Amino acid sequence: MRTETANKILTHIKEKDEISPHLLADYLEISHQAVHRQLKKLLSQNLIFKAGRPPKVTYSLKPMIIQNATIWASSNNAPHIPPNDIYCQTRDVFTGRADRLLADLQRHTQNDNLSFLLSSVVGEIGNNSFDHNLGNWRDIPGLYFTTDLSAHIMVLSDRGQGISATLKKIKPQIKDDEEALTTAFYEHLSGRAPEQRGNGLKFVKKIITENNWELEFRSGMALCVIKNNITNITKSNINIPGTLAIIKF
Amino acid sequence: MRIELQKFGKVLTSRPAGKEAWLVAQAYTLSDKKPNEKIEVDFTGVQVLTPSWADEFLTQLKKSYTKDVILLPSDNPTVKAALEIIEKE
């Protein structure tokens, strides 16, 4: 639930494209501390992003496809069924869309190898959702899959069991969502016994890192960010019961 | 014998597709294999390969015919990355 102040901040950032906390405080006529508290909350909700370093910090709105996917993925109750161009109820639908994405990427980037690599990352993340959640979706089955190639963003999300619940079946000692993500991105095991492999997210990490792209991967209360060749797994302020992956290339 | 993976598709990403390809290969291709005959796996024409598909097909192939499997070189970056990942096991 957003406060009136938070809504005013979002509206004003939208009007200005980007704005400093100082100008926001002046506009809203509230203290700098109050502005920073609100900005921190909005950052944690994946609605805005921060650029620059003090004293030249500015805030901008996150692209709508990221905001919408985050709201869909984090909703406590079953959200609406996404539009047909976003929703892949079954793997077959996802496979068809992933095949079309490859052709779109080739046209857009004019670079076959880059398109193949991006397509492999999308294929691995999207298929993981079906591999690990078939018959076990929380509410809405399938995958939320959308792209904005001109903004170089691709988003995938599911309302499945999440990484922690999946991995705990074969590694019960996992104590929280951060440890589960660490296991998924670094250790070789599979969440779907008796298959012995669980290399999907290690593969994704390798491709993202080697190509200097960015990945934001959320599951439960954990967040994995791969950026500038560095992988950082931290506690998140948003709960994503299934998974949410944002790829920037 | 040579198995041309592009005959299973140019985009090889999902586990079910890899599993199906493995079953088909066993039934219709590998059944003709002579003792000690080498199996060359040809990646020509494959655009996208993921570890999930490769695990269902190549890992099973290598388990079943340990000494006979030869993976032919490929310039495709997803083939290289997927093989590197599954071969770490």
The 10s digit of each residue's pLDDT in A240-249 is 999 999 999 9
- Please state the rounded mean pLDDT for residues A127-132: 96
Asked if A111 has any chain B CB less than 8 Å from its own CB, the reply is no
Task: Using a CB–CB cutoff of 8 Å, tell me whether A120 touches chain B.
Answer: yes
Task: Please name the residue that has the structure tokens 């805005």.
Answer: A48
d(CA A217, CA A178): 11
Question: Taking residues A110-133, what's their average pLDDT?
Answer: 97
Report the pLDDT value the prediction gives residue A194, as an integer from 0 to 100: 56
In this complex, which of A102, A124, A188 lies closest to B50 when CB atoms are compared?
A124
- If one compares B28 and A194, the residue with the highest pLDDT of the two is B28
Which pair of structure tokens corresponds to residue A44?
């944690």
Cα–Cα distance for residue pair B14/A131, rounded to 1 Å? 9
CA dihedral (A190, A193, A194, A200) in degrees, to 10, reads -20
For B62-88, the DSSP string reads: HHHTTTTEEE-----HHHHHHHHHHHT
Q: Compare CB distances from B78 to A95, A117, A195 and report the shortest one's residue.
A: A117
Chain B residue at shortest CA distance from A127: B14
Q: Which of A123, A131, A197 sits opposite B48 (nearest CB)?
A: A123
pLDDT in tens, A160-171: 999 999 999 888
Residue B89: band (very low, low, confident or very high) from pLDDT cuts 50, 70, 90: low
A100 touches B at CB < 8 Å: no
- At A120, the pLDDT band (50, 70, 90 cuts) reads very high
pLDDT greater than 90 at residue A75:
yes
Q: What is the mean pLDDT of residues B2-9?
A: 98
Does A113 sit within 8 Å of B77, measured CB to CB? yes
CB of B85 within 8 Å of any CB in chain A? yes
Mutate to test the interface with B, among A197, A202, A207 (most CBs of B within 10 A): A197
B15 CB neighbours in chain A (<8 A) are 127, 131, 195
- Cα gap A35→A32, rounded to integer Å: 5
| Contact: A120, B48; criterion CB under 8 Å | yes
The contacts found for B29-34 with CB under 8 angstroms, 24 or more apart, are: B29/B1, B29/B3, B30/B64, B30/B65, B32/B1, B33/B1, B33/B65, B33/B68
Rounded to two decimals, the ipTM of the complex is 0.94
Q: Say which residue the tokens 């670094």 belong to.
A: A186
The pTM score is: 0.90
Residue B30 at interface with chain A, using a CB cutoff of 8 Å: no
Residue B77 has pLDDT above 70, yes or no: yes
Cα separation, A168 vs A165, in Å, equals: 5
Q: Is the pLDDT of residue A190 over 60?
A: no
Q: How far apart are CA A139 and CA A136, in angstroms?
A: 9
The separation between the first and the last C-alpha atoms of chain B, rounded to the nearest angstrom, is 26
Mean pLDDT of chain A: 93
What confidence tier does A46 reach under pLDDT thresholds 50, 70, 90?
confident
In chain A the first and final C-alpha atoms are separated, in Å, by: 31
Could you give the percent of chain A with pLDDT greater than 70? 96
The mean pLDDT of chain B is 95
